[in-house]
Amino acid sequence: MTATADDRAQRFTAELEKLKIPDPAASRAQLWIRLGVVAMVLGVALGVIAYLMSHNTSDPLVQRDALTIALIGVAVAIVGSAVFLRYSLTNFLRFWLARQAFDLNTFGERLAPPTESEPASGKHTTAITEEITHDHESPAVAHR
């Protein structure tokens, strides 16, 4: 890595700390992800148990109980999948958004470099060169 890449990585880490974005490895999201995986596996297991239960008997009452267990297994697997996807995507999108914000800030710094009179602080102001026109004053806008 070059010196600029190391500097950029350090600035990115500093930006993350300023934004107070929690580290996903140390949060409750990992617990919910694991719970979602367990629920998916449990749902499949309930389906297999219900299948074996329904084929080992000729009693219609037991077969109907197996059908109920199988439907509960499907519901548990779907809920587990939704929980897993929600927390997995949350972790991914949180850091993707932070990375996008950092990259846009870096891109903005490259587009508008600081002048000699103002130090590089990461905050840029641009002078407005055009007049601001209001829509309600424009004759092209229809009035009620």
Degrees, nearest 5: CA angle 132-135-136: 120
| Backbone dihedral angles phi then psi of residue 7, each to the nearest 5 degrees | -65, -40
pLDDT per residue, tens digit, the chain (144 aa), is 556 667 777 777 777 777 766 555 556 878 899 999 999 999 999 999 999 999 999 999 999 999 999 999 999 999 999 999 998 888 788 778 878 887 888 777 777 766 665 555 555 555 555 555 555 555 555 554
Choose among 23, 22, 25, 42: nearest CA to 83: 42
pTM of the predicted structure, to 2 decimals: 0.55
